[in-house]
Structure 1
Amino acid sequence: MAFDGITISSIVNELNNTINGGRLYKISQPEADEIMLTIKTQSGQYRLVLSANASLPLAYLTDDNKPSPATAPNFCMLLRKHLNNGRIISITQPKFERVIDIEAEHLNELGDLCRKHIIAEFMGKHSNIILCDDNNTILDSIKHISAQTSSVREVLPGRPYFIPNTSDKINPLEADRKHFDETVFSKPVPVVKALLSSYTGISTCIAEELAYRAGVDGGHPANCLDEPMKDALYNVFDALMSDVRNGIYHPDMVTDNGVPAEFAAVKLSMYDNHTEYDSISRLIIDYYRQKEIATRIHQKSVDIRRIVTTHLERAYKKLDIQEKQIKDTEKKDKYRIYGELLTTYAYSIPAGSKEYEALNYYDNTTIKIPLDNTLTPIENANKYFARYNKLKRTYEAGIRLIQEITEEISYLESIINAIEISVTEADLANIKEELIETGYIKRTVKGKHKITANKPMHFVSSDGFDIYVGKNNIQNDELTFKTGNGNDWWFHAKQMPGSHVLLKTDGKEVPDRTFEEAASLAAYYSKGREQEKVEVDYVLKKEVKKPAGAKPGFVVYYTNYSMVADTDISKIKQL
């Protein structure tokens, strides 16, 4: 619940400082569950987005406009009828709930001054945008909720509006030390859970941050804290609530290797990699824009991922079968030795013998050789030689197949890795075209299509050296054999699928720190990115070769250095 009460409070504070007192110049409904209000103020024009999306309820100011449907929906028409050219007179957050109440006054058809409320509720699947009159009577809502849908509250025209109280939580802005002692410190549950169950608008993230600031273990039972711990926890809680009362916020976004992981309207000091913003709206836009891109890319990659995974599963099954067959050939050398010994000692083996005990001159041990008493010693020897030759052929063919299957598995896993690090639709198109060229996907349009690699990722080391990272096998080949010069350095995660990383030297001596950063990029953009450390090979680019007929991205090298690299790349600048 990143969109918690404190985040709503921060948004309300920002709206009061920007659009309060402004006029509702334009109202649109770009999505079925979203409205956009354009407000003109003395300082300029603002656009406020209110979304009641069940999975992503949001409120933020933006500079971007959104296209609206040619015919405005009924709710949008009603908002225009009641609020167009109205003036915003207050923006509040009732009871510190995840609710924003925008009150506006306007002239009705008779010229009388009236007041209306746009109430946006951000409560997951129960999110809604409701228009009420000044008597808290619902005029309409973007989602209609009947008694059959909810036994707690109907949201229909003519019904009274109220915020349902489904828990015993209270407003944290009204809490004092006595209440804190009676609620939080009396519960035999972890500190984080005690905070969550006591106050509205407190998310898990905020509760964990409070525990961190107080130096208290968030998993420790709240009723077992000693007095110094209780004092510390209440003091940081009270300080945070004091900041909220005074409108002091520090919007903060936490990233995990450059990917948004968490955000809050307060500084999240429990994390190392975070970025502070001067506007909660700007933070929300950045956070969810990057999240949306990642989600869209994941959705578009599903079909490609399924095809690759299917081929990968088949390859693993074939490998398992071949390895079992290879194991079955382990007796081949024993049969060869039997044949050789029988040939050597044939003159001394009595006719009709069922076994013969012979000295194995390879290791000076005595072994018993089973015999077919209907055959001569030489015929028995030839029989063992035949078994040996058959198993030898099976072994040699199996080894060749295992090598081919292993190379196919390595290639398919490199495709999976490329899908994981794809950041644009062009990256996925590149991967799909590669799979068509290598025969894993059938081309729907006849004719040969040229694979055009888009640009690789570009980083700059702390010492100013350019480092390039391929996002797929086509880029890897382009980077290694066209972009790279002989004296540039080439990096790759050891014995696992991963990106080719090229460190451009421009003839300069490269510091150790830059080597380490390039190795970290190779470690992160590999199958081992979830590990803390990954072993990375690095070599001069001129030592990297591509075998004739090899699949895209496959290279060989025989002399290299190795280092163990960190997978944290958050401090490496990306262009």
Structure 2
Amino acid sequence: MGPITSAELSLVIKSLQGILAGSRVEKIVEPSHESILLVTRGENLHICLSPQFCHLGSMGRISRGESTAFTMLLRKHIGNAIIMRIDLLREGDRIFFIEFSTGHRLLGELSGRHGNIFLLDDRGIILGLHHTSHSTTRLCRSGAEYTAPPPTPGTHDQVPRFVDSHGASSFFAPHMEALEKSLLFSVASEAIARDQKKVTRALLALEKDGARCEDLMKNQRLGELLLIVQYQWPRGETALFLDPAPDGGDPLTVTLPVGISSPVAASQHFFQRAKKGKRGMVHIANRKIELLKKQAELQIAMEDLKTLSLTELKQLVTAQSQKRTYQVPTVKNSAAPQKKANYYRQFSSEDNTPILVGRGAKENHLLTFRTARGNDHWFHARDLPGAHVIIPGVKQLTEALLLDGATLAFHFSDGRTQDRGDVIYTLRKYLRPVKGAPGKVTVSQSKTICINIEPDRLRRLLDSKIL
């Protein structure tokens, strides 16, 4: 499969010469953005510039309902003109011309991906061309004198695939239809494919969340062991190696959380984390069912799309272009309340105090000036772009809370790769937003703390993120 050959073009031109001579151009339309159709009483002349199927043929009155500037130019100069002559520019090449009673010439170069159509005046000056030419061997633009490209080797030794204009159109039509259908399918399925990728990414994220929840559920054993050994726990110790383990499991070291000195209190801490993991697993299971159902619906939608005809695909693509997006059925619970836009992350300190971290510049602004109150504590990495961190509802910061807030502020900043850094902190009421710069603030009074990033503290905080 390839464009028309010079031998085939010669046969097509000969079949048209007796039919088109003396015919009037009644209409000029665009069957596609790569072709022009001259509607005459004698024959409808179709000039196709598709790189794979470049040819000259005959076809019915088909219009895509749009007109480019070149088509409008043709209508201006050769509309209602009489065709005086159609012929090859030179033998053995794929260039033809049509002479009109107005003195204009329409010249077609059917050379595959370099094909083009030129409108010339009676002096051979280019009035316009179908699309911009990037030729480096000749000047092809409006106002320049037309120069034919160098001759190309002939293909007369090949057996012609057709002998007239109708044969050319009949030969190329099914291939062009298949190509057009493929292109339309790509456009129509773009939104579905995009949603399929989103679902796949969401399923992968659920697997990671599930692994984190399983780790949290392991805290159940730690809590139970602490209750068993609470009376044997050495006074003042923060860790105890259990070998053999009282529950018959593998030996392990049980470490009390930072800031907790009582085995009973520590067991409750571990039980809370285990409950959080269980809640997370329930949420993950429900969410996975929703995503798998949506994945199946998207697959069905994609399969249904493959069965559409060319006309149906055109109608669908037109409707999509009007709507801008392709709506795919999604799983929604109509009874569920609308969730508020979540513009911050939420973590928990050792004593379950919430710590809020902004997600971006605009989100930082919303967190600080819409969610936070005047006496809430605010943190930010000093002299570095980063997230706003808010600790709400606490009158006096403990040392643990101060370090937790500063650690998160430094971690969610451009200094996260460093082991040490400065963090400023103050009350929300001492901040003012900078106009036109979301996330930027002016601080009237603040304090600075220099922190060394503690991996255990950071890991604990990140693990406490609410799913």
TM-score, normalised with respect to structure 2: 0.49
TM-score, normalised with respect to structure 1: 0.41
Larger Rg: 2
